[in-house]
Chains A and B, each alone.
Chain A
Amino acid sequence: MSVENKKLRRKLDRLFVPLTVGPTLVWIAAIIVYPTVQLLLSSLQFRNPITNEMQFVGLRNFQRLLFAREGGSAVLGVFNPNFVSFTANTVVYVGFSVTISFLLGLGIALLLNKDLKGRGWLRTAVIVPWIMPYVMSGLMWRWMFQTEYGAINGVLTQFGIIADNIPFLSDGTLAMMALIVADVWVFTPFIIIILLAGLQNVPEQLYDAAEVDGASRWSRFWNVTYPFLKPSILVALTIRIIFDIRALDLVWVMTGGGPGKATEVWASWLYRTAQVFNEPGPGAALGVVLLATTFVIVAVLYSVFGDSPYNA
């Protein structure tokens, strides 16, 4: 090999990192950093309905969202009733969905972790709901809960459990329950996958030892499985919570936030504000609130339960 050639190769080698990392960083700057900066700027602006221009309004969008209004100005200290009720809806929706799907997912993961014939097929059968488009799942469940022709009323009436069809989606509480059912159906597979992976970290000898010691099932889970599973549980719960707060698909196609505003959550409120009502300023302000909430939740979860994010 000639000296020239060697020099060229060394030069090219030195360019490896800049050429492989550079494009990604530029791309990310353009597609993530720039829109995020733009979000912060938009949240401080309001679209003038007459000229259609965006005008700087400071923190007024946030005041409008968070606080009640009287005579056109925000009353600090008194919360906007919409904000209170949509936040409550979000907490109920996320709280119940995450808790139920976590317990269910943990149970199924523990069962699937056993040495079974056909485990691969069972695992496939179990994760399919998560792979389907959320929109399709949402509409599918809307169809299941449909009053006259839905399968749930169909099964209940044909087995004689109820006499009259239940109008699931036109009652506020029932609609929220239906949404939670759909959400649990969609996202439990995610919990199962993460926890099944975590269960591989539990050393088998420890089970053996516990069995020899005559430990009960519960104490075996609590003292052997749980400590090894804890990092996976943290990851699963964190991702599950932050992905549920931002989820629009299911709510939008299943209930559209209704009946009335009974299932309006942050995500649907944000979409309605920004797109349906064409108010980009307040919409962006809600986006900032959502973004900040996400970071706070992750920070709290990890400072309480774990060491550092993504370092499970």
Chain B
Amino acid sequence: MSTKQSTLNRIRQALGMETQNEWPTVARERLVTYALLGIYVVVIWFPIYYIFITSIKPSSEVLSVPITFIPQQPTVQNYVDIFANRPFEHYTFNSVIVATTTTVICVTLGTLTGYSFSRFDFFGNKTLLLSIVGARMIPPIALIVPFFQIMSNPPLIGGFTGSLYDTRVALILTYTFFNLPFAVWIMKNYFDGVPESLDEQAKIDGCSTWEAFFKIILPMAKPGIAATAILAFIFSWNEFVFALVLTSSEVSQTLPIAVSLFVADDFVDWAHLAAGGIIAALPGILFGLFFQQYIVSGLTQGAVKE
């Protein structure tokens, strides 16, 4: 007789009236809700299930009719094969390095800058913030031509680095382009939610601005930092377009490219593609399962301003 009561009954009760037995309606509504959500979840997970079972079927079973929805001879051979026959350890390593470095850069700069935008009035701060946020609207694909030109022949640093085409550095630099503005924006919004009185108290206690930031505010911003880091990592890990444009060998190709390479002109090696695809999707799925609340809060902070 607690949460399950409807508003009408709570009011009836408050007025001293007799409550009505609404149990059948409430129960039916719940059942319908669960049923609808259940159907939805089953339908959207079916393709994931199908690609997963494809990855643990031998190639002969993958290409046989009628198709099987429960693998008859489960095997991990496809996973062994892709590491044995293709440089999948390189692809995985590249993905890890690129996504991690991009994340560290964006979180570090995003946190520092986000804090300043949240707390200080400085020359043109509103305009600067608006342009940083506006930069998120620039479609990355629109910039493939200049990025290809710039990375092939970098200005200023070119004499020192040579061409950056087909290097992990090119990918890292490029990925900061859509992750940094996002990081600044999430962190700014996050710091807006941390009471400014904390900064003031710290300063009264004799902290400098730096100390107040690093000792008091930064530890409180951990959830915001986690959200930013997870999203930046996922975005960089999954990125495809620039990797397609800026890389050409296993020196720098990442997992999304590796998976697409299973598609030859007229033949697709589905069993091995499925195994590679599962490896590429794994971090995202794991992050989703264990850090769902950070992903949700980061996206919400990033998209909607309170």
User: A residues within 8 Å of B by Cβ?
Assistant: 9, 12-13, 16-17, 19-21, 23-25, 27-28, 31-32, 34-36, 38-39, 42, 108, 111-112, 114-116, 120, 122-129, 131-136, 139-144, 146, 148-151, 154, 157-158, 185, 190, 193-194, 196-198, 207-208, 211-212, 231-232, 235-236, 239, 242, 245-246, 248-249, 252-253, 267, 270-271, 274-275, 280, 283-284, 286-288, 290-291, 294-295, 298, 309-312
B44 touches A39 (CB 8 A): no
Asked whether A280 and B148 contact (CB < 8 A) given A114-B33, A194-B299, the answer is yes
B231 and chain A: residue at smallest CB distance? A131
| A280 and B145 within 8 A (CB) | yes
Judging by beta carbons under 8 Å apart, are B8 and A275 in contact? no
Q: Does B138 contact A (CB under 8 A)?
A: yes
In the bound complex, residues from chain B placing their C-beta under 8 Å from that of A20 are 112-113, 115-116
Interface band, chain B: 35 or more
A142 CA to B47 CA, complexed, in Å: 10
A122-B37, A283-B144 known; A139-B263 Cβ under 8 A: yes
Asked if B54 and A12 sit within 8 Å, CB to CB, the answer is: no
Is the CB of B259 closer than 8 A to any CB of chain A?
yes
A39 to B257, CA, bound (A): 25
**Footprint of A on B, CB under 8 Å?**
3, 6-8, 11, 30, 33-34, 36-37, 40-41, 44-48, 50-51, 54, 62-67, 69, 109-110, 112-113, 115-117, 120, 122, 128, 132-135, 137-150, 155, 173-174, 176-177, 180-181, 184, 208-210, 213, 234, 237-238, 240-241, 244-245, 255-257, 259-260, 262-263, 268, 270, 273-274, 277, 280-281, 284-285, 287-289, 292-293, 295-296, 299-300, 303-305
CB-based A-B contact count at 8 angstroms: 287
By a CB distance below 8 angstroms, the chain A residues around B149 are 38, 42, 280
Alpha-carbon distance A312/B120, docked complex (angstroms) = 23
Whole-angstrom distance from the CB of B128 to the nearest CB of chain A? 7
Check B112 against A154 for contact (C-beta < 8 Å).
Answer: no
Alpha-carbon separation in the docked complex, A136 to B238 (Å): 9
- Which residue of chain B lies nearest to A250 when distances are taken between CB atoms in the complex? B240
Is A139 a contact partner of B277 (Cβ separation < 8 A)?
A: yes
Q: Are B33 and A133 touching (Cβ within 8 A)?
A: no
Say which residue of A115, A198, A287 sits within 8 Å of B3 (CB atoms): A115
Query: Complex: how many Å from CA A239 to CA B137?
Result: 9
Contact B145 A13 (CB under 8 A): no
Return the chain B residue nearest A184 by Cβ.
B44
